[in-house]
Amino acid sequence: MTTIQIRIDEQTKKSSAKILDAIGIDMSAAIKMFLKQVVFQKGIPFRVVTENGLTLEQEDLILRRRAEAKRGVNVTKSMRVDEVAAFLTKK
């Protein structure tokens, strides 16, 4: 066996300990489960998202598309509702 020490802010530690306690798992067991899953799945065993619920790739894409729109790239002209419906159903 070996020992791992980690540094984490107090609020995250308290909040996670409260949740883990409610489901009957101590912090050490939870971290062991996480590391075992990293090995089994050969990577992070869950989808990593930002506070917006998006992956880093999704956020990056949104920011790039926003910058394009500001430059007038890949932007369609304003349309009435009936024009939008026709545009979306066009094959």
Domain CATH for 21? 1.10.1220
Residue 36: its pLDDT value, please?
A: 97
Task: Say how far apart CA 62 and CA 58 lie, in whole Å.
Answer: 6
DSSP state of 33: H
Residues 73 and 37 in one domain: no
Residues 66 and 79 in one domain: yes
Farthest CA pair distance, the chain: 68
Task: Say how far apart CA 24 and CA 26 lie, in whole Å.
Answer: 7
Residues spanned by the domain of 67: 47-91
How many alpha carbons fall within 13 Å on the CB side of residue 5? 0
Say what the pTM is. Answer: 0.59
pLDDT by residue, tens only, the chain of 91 residues: 899 999 999 999 999 999 999 999 999 999 999 999 999 999 999 988 988 899 999 999 999 999 998 898 888 788 899 988 888 888 6
Are residues 56 and 48 in contact, defined by beta-carbon separation less than 8 angstroms?
A: yes
Residue 12: its pLDDT value, please?
A: 96
Are residues 12 and 6 in contact, defined by beta-carbon separation less than 8 angstroms?
A: no
Residues 54 and 33 in one domain: no
